[in-house]
Amino acid sequence: MLLEKMKKIIVSLFILLPLCVVAQDLPYASSRLDTSEIIIGEQVKLTVEIKAHDEVFLWNPFPTELCEGVEVVKQLSIDTLIENGTTLYRQELFVTAFDTGFYIIPPIDFPYHKAGDTTVAMTSAPALFLTVNTITVDTAQAFRDIKGLKEVPVTFKEVLLTAYPWAILAAVLVGLYFLGRYLYKRYKNKQPIFELPKKPKLPAHIIAFDALDKLKEKKLWQSDRVKDYYSELTDIVDQYIEDRFEVSAVEMTTDEILSGLANHSIPPKDMEKLTATLQSADLVKFAKSNPLPLENDNAWNFIYDFVKDTKLEHSVVEETKENADIQDNTTNKDTQS
């Protein structure tokens, strides 16, 4: 034990002696440990500093071992401080040892050269010593068994992380199941997989007016096709009544149609025109009647007036069309201006 202490004192004298002589010469390097004694495996901070003027240092990373048994655990970046024409370089390391004993950390060399000169010189941080002790064991105490594993309750986060992938898989499988059912049902019913949105249906009176105009252009009764003329005319008015009043006129007889319209507020004159036209059409289609040309013209006019007088006012499609017409007219006026 006495020999060990004498060894430390001698080493300390050799470390401090050069410092007393050249402490004021620049550049110079220094190093220090936060403590000279640690317990095995404990980390201690080693600080290295260089004070210089305008010298350029070749500062390389430290090796993983400063000496045999002393390992560098971590090394921080180099800090630089300039004050009164002097530059201070500082770097901190964390070292440890995993075996007990007395360690001498040798001097750390730093090569440098003067600015504008390629001649390499050297300055060194002094050696350090480190004592590594083992953990003190009280032999007077009885030996104790090693403690067993401690059960830790499962947290909600752990449960969530464990169940999350299975939940996603289950959701995917359920989604595929319902998708398969949907596709099979569409296929079985001979329906397309995806249906495109349907265009809004035109109002009943617009469809009827368009059909009446086309019928007039055909000039059927003028070509001795009177029966075809009345058949198409009754088809047009039946479809209009079905769309406008929700009366299944297409599948009804004339009496049933007139009875179905009785509950609707239709002007009497229009009911008279409709009744006359439907009855005349029945005579032509079933009794081979041959009306006069004036009666044929009147039949078309009666149906046209019936549609005009009973149409729904201000339908959505008409309002959209009117707005579009107004916008077109405004645009044309602006263009002309």
> Residue 140 falls within a domain, yes or no?
no
Q: Nearest CA to 38 among 127, 101, 93?
A: 101
Mark whether 19 and 90 lie in a shared domain.
yes
More confident residue, 94 or 158: 94
pLDDT of residue 285: 86
More confident residue, 47 or 178: 47
> Residue 306 falls within a domain, yes or no?
yes
Identify the band that residue 225 occupies on the pLDDT scale cut at 50, 70 and 90: very high
> Residue 241 falls within a domain, yes or no?
yes
Give the pTM: 0.40
Q: How many CA atoms lie within 13 A of 284 on its CB side?
A: 24
Share of the chain above pLDDT 90, in %: 31
Segment 194-210 mean pLDDT: 81
Distance separating alpha carbons of residues 8 and 101, to the nearest angstrom: 12
Mark whether 110 and 166 lie in a shared domain.
no
Q: How many independent structural domains does the chain possess?
A: 3
Least confident of 106-120, 137-151, 155-169, 298-312: 137-151
> Residue 327 falls within a domain, yes or no?
no
Mark whether 242 and 161 lie in a shared domain.
no
Mark whether 244 and 307 lie in a shared domain.
yes
Mark whether 57 and 168 lie in a shared domain.
no
Mark whether 216 and 300 lie in a shared domain.
yes
- CATH code for the domain in which residue 111 is found: 2.60.40
> Residue 329 falls within a domain, yes or no?
no
Segment 10-16 mean pLDDT: 50
> Residue 146 falls within a domain, yes or no?
no
Mark whether 117 and 214 lie in a shared domain.
no
For residue 246, pLDDT beyond 90: no
Mark whether 22 and 77 lie in a shared domain.
yes
Query: What is the per-residue pLDDT across 29-57, written as a single tens digit (0 to 9) for each?
Result: 999 999 999 999 999 999 999 998 888 88
Residue 249 contacts residue 257 (beta carbons within 8 Å): yes
> Residue 143 falls within a domain, yes or no?
no
Identify the band that residue 4 occupies on the pLDDT scale cut at 50, 70 and 90: low
Mark whether 183 and 208 lie in a shared domain.
no
Query: What is the per-residue pLDDT across 265-296, written as a single tens digit (0 to 9) for each?
Result: 888 898 898 998 999 888 988 888 888 989 88
pLDDT of residue 170: 87
pLDDT of residue 17: 47
For residue 16, pLDDT beyond 80: no
Mark whether 123 and 162 lie in a shared domain.
no
For residue 113, pLDDT beyond 50: yes
Residue numbers of the domain that contains 87: 2-133
Mark whether 187 and 243 lie in a shared domain.
no
pLDDT of residue 166: 82
For residue 325, pLDDT beyond 70: no
Segment 242-256 mean pLDDT: 88
Q: Residue type at 59?
A: W
Mark whether 22 and 89 lie in a shared domain.
yes
Distance separating alpha carbons of residues 96 and 205, to the nearest angstrom: 97
Distance separating alpha carbons of residues 302 and 310, to the nearest angstrom: 12
Distance separating alpha carbons of residues 91 and 76, to the nearest angstrom: 6
Q: Nearest CA to 127 among 32, 237, 28, 238?
A: 32
Least confident of 19-33, 158-172, 257-271, 297-311: 19-33
Segment 297-323 mean pLDDT: 75
DSSP E strands in the chain: the ranges are 28-33, 37-39, 44-52, 56-57, 65-67, 70-75, 79-83, 86-97, 101-105, 108-113, 120-125, 128-133
Mean pLDDT of the chain: 82
> Residue 168 falls within a domain, yes or no?
yes
Distance separating alpha carbons of residues 110 and 278, to the nearest angstrom: 117
